Amino acid sequence: MDPYKYRPSSAFNTPFWTTNSGNPVWNNNSVLTVGNRGPILLEDYQFVEKIANFDRERIPERVVHARGASAKGFFEVTHDVSHLTCADFLRAPGVQTPVIVRFSTVIHERGSPETIRDPRGFATKFYTREGNFDLVGNNFPVFFIRDAMKFPDVIHAFKPNPKSNVQENWRILDYLSHHPESFNTFTWFYDDVGIPVNYRHMEGFGVHTYTLLNKAGKVLYVKFHWKPTCGVKSLLEEEAIRIGGTNHSHATQDLYDSIAAGNYPEWKLYFQTMDPDHEDNFDFDPLDTTKTWPEDILPLQPVGRLVLNKNIDNFFAENEMLAFSMHVVPGISYSNDKMLQGRIFAYADTQRHRLGPNYLQLPVNAPKCAHHNNHHDGFMNFMHRDEEVNYFPSRFDPVRHAERVPMSNAIINGRRERSVIEKENNFKEGGDRYRSWAPDRQERFIKRWVEALSDPRLTHEIRSIWISYLTQADRSLGQKVASRLNVRPSI
């Protein structure tokens, strides 16, 4: 992961300025003009190159997760999970794998405050001996929707109004009033954890259901959980306003300063597994991203620890150009989770748009193991190649297929159709979560709902729908919100 071996020699060897092509620059302060006052000559290549590079310093920001911070470190296996997966980087306790982690907000732009109520991204790139494993996730274990077809719409609803460029509650609550599945995630969004105190005191969840495969080919569903060793801490509204008003990069600074001081952030990784043969035993679909799995029935199993002990060297190169593409490695695979299936394409596609088709050649994204294929040429391809055979197979090139790895061989039968998950059960889990809180935490949750539903653009119909959802989750919750809004519950 040493970035210097990728750096052009001219960037650090010469004691004087040069152009990008290595030509010496004797005056980096004055443009070439006719006389002392100008005009500037077009032949001033040095100036044209300098200003042209400056004009192009920005790349398209991410549509989501634009605001983020990264750090590097390692993942170490602490428990034997070889009976669950044949993934090489999880082969035995003590095995360490270099990682880079990016934390982020989700909705707002690259320069937005880090104190906004918003989900937080928690994405980890493992540089394993079998290629990169990208484990993307959030600080909430659930998501607002369960079908990838709705993803652009839910993001548009949360994004600022395209007319005023202001985020407005009426747009969010209007759209999601059509999707009662979103209520469970609102019990996280409008809870105290909606504004983490910083990135170090934040949980992480893979959200999606993946699969594990062991050497015998046994398949298990799995969810990933990151637990911070320093505990979970959040900001209440008054604290967030105060901190955000003085430092809109407080979480980025906290992460950087903590690592620089040797106070290395650490998380424990846990698996939560389910035998696919048992999925019908539950009153929800385990592939539904709006649901969590009961930990009393499916307990968390310790796997390893994540330690971030090195700050990034350059924010642009290792944060803005850092790209996560849902890559998996042998022993870890996908499930039929509809949101996950959509993201397998979407994540890589957005990086091809932002960074170009060869974004995986960038040092921060490139695998650290040997790799070989015939993908070449295209925009910004900087891999030097001199082979004559760029097709497969060939009797002039000994490259071969890799050894077969365990794969799920489940038989899938079904009619081609656009359908919904049958076991919706939209309100039970959210109601249980609300009832588990202390009264003061319930009161803050209620106040946030009242504030959101007080948006003057919301219609009586939309308020009534949300009151009915709140009431179905917990009757007293719906009644309390309704009374403060002077709306009668419809259930």
User: Which residues does the annotation mark as catalytic?
Assistant: 65, 138
Look at the block and give the residue holding tokens 């909705």: 107
Angle at 299 between CA 103 and CA 411, to 5 degrees: 85
Contacts with 473 (C-beta within 8 Å, 6 or more apart), sequence order: 183, 187, 427, 428, 430, 431, 434
| Beta bridge partners of residue 491, listed in sequence order | none
DSSP line for 384-404: ----S--SSS-TT----PPPP
End-to-end CA distance of the chain: 58
For residue 361, the 8-state DSSP code is G
CA 452 to chain centre: 26
- Segment (H or E) for 134: strand 131-135
Q: Say how many CA atoms lie within 13 Å of 449 toward its Cβ.
A: 30
Whether residue 254 contacts residue 263, with contact meaning beta carbons closer than 8 Å, is answered with: no
| Beta bridge partners of residue 220, listed in sequence order | 212
Quick one: tokens of 133? 């494993």
Closest CA to 204 of 255, 130, 266: 266
Pairwise CA distance, residues 41 & 46, whole Å: 11
Quick one: tokens of 247? 């430092």
Whether residue 125 contacts residue 205, with contact meaning beta carbons closer than 8 Å, is answered with: no
- CA–CA distances in Å: residue 178 to residues 133, 153, 469: 35, 12, 11
For residue 306, the 8-state DSSP code is E
- Segment (H or E) for 52: helix 45-55
Strand 210-213 and strand 204-205: pairing? unpaired
* Segments of 22-112 assigned E as strands: 68-77, 96-105
